[in-house]
Amino acid sequence: MLGGQSGSGKTTIHRIKIEEYQGNLIVIDGDSFRYQHPNYNQLQEIYGKESVNYTRDFAGKMVEALIEQLSDRGYQLLIEGTLRTVEVPQKTATLLKTKNYTIELAVMATKPELSYLSTLISYEELYVKDPNSARATPKEHHDAIVDHLVENLQDLQEKEIFDKIQIYQRDRRCCYDSSKDSESAAKVLHTLLFGEWTMVEKEMLQLGNSRLEELKGK
Catalytic residue numbers?
31
How many residues are recorded in the chain? 218
Q: Are 55 and 44 in contact (CB under 8 A)?
A: no
Where do runs of H (alpha helix) occur along the chain?
11-20, 40-47, 52-72, 87-97, 112-129, 139-159, 185-194, 199-216
DSSP 73: T
Cα Rg of the chain (Å, integer): 18
CA angle 159–164–169, rounded 5-degree value:
110
Residue whose C-alpha is closest to residue 186's, from 175, 196, 197: 175
Neighbour count for residue 56 (Cβ, 10 Å): 15
Residue 210, CA distances (Å) to 121, 122, 126 in order: 10, 14, 17
